[in-house]
């Protein structure tokens, strides 16, 4: 079952019985429904940072974490989307706000494959100067991908 993140009650009984919070980029439900079913298993919440501001998304996730006992948060988005990247940032911020020690798993979908992404990579993506420095160290600063 896929529910809209912002339209779902933060203390929903549906969330309480899961034990894990799974969040996906909304566009995945249309573009990759079979992968979404695999990733979600049971219940998934979908959000779109292109439509909804990341602060609203982060507050909603933090509100859920304050009301629902979950042990893990998993996020899946499209790789390369400047909007979807913010969904990962929103979840990291929400977990930080909640003050809970939770496992957070990030992943992106690239060419039909789920690629795990570390929380460190998500954080690094916020700092373009650090990314630029890494590219220079790898000798790739002037090359396009």
Query: How is the chain split into domains, by residue range?
Result: 2-119
Domain spanning 2-119 has what CATH number? 3.40.1360
Residues 131-143 have a mean pLDDT of 75
Residue 140 has pLDDT above 70, yes or no: no
Residue 143: the pLDDT is: 56
Show the tokens assigned to 89: 């940032």
- Provide the pLDDT for residue 59: 94
Q: What are phi and psi of 30, to 5 degrees?
A: -90, -45
> Given this model, what pLDDT does residue 68 score?
92
Question: Percent of the chain at pLDDT above 90?
Answer: 50
Query: pLDDT value at position 134?
Result: 84
Q: DSSP letters of 49-101?
A: TTTS-HHHHHHHHHHHHHHS--SEEEEEEETT-TTHHHHHHHHHHHHHHHT--
């Amino acid at each position: 079952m896929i529910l809209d993140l912002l339209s779902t009650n933060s203390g929903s009984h549906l969330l309480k019985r899961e034990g894990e919070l799974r969040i996906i980029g909304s566009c995945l439900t249309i573009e990759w429904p079979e992968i979404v079913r695999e990733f979600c298993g049971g219940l998934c919440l979908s959000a779109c940072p292109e439509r909804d501001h990341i602060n609203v998304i982060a507050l909603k996730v933090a509100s859920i974490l304050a009301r629902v006992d979950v042990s893990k948060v998993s996020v899946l988005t499209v790789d390369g989307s400047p909007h979807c990247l913010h969904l990962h940032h929103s979840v990291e911020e929400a977990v930080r706000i909640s003050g809970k020690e939770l496992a957070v798993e990030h992943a992106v979908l690239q060419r039909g494959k789920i690629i795990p992404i570390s929380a460190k990579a998500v954080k690094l993506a916020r700092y373009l100067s650090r990314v630029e420095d890494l590219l220079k160290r790898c000798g790739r600063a002037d090359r396009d991908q």
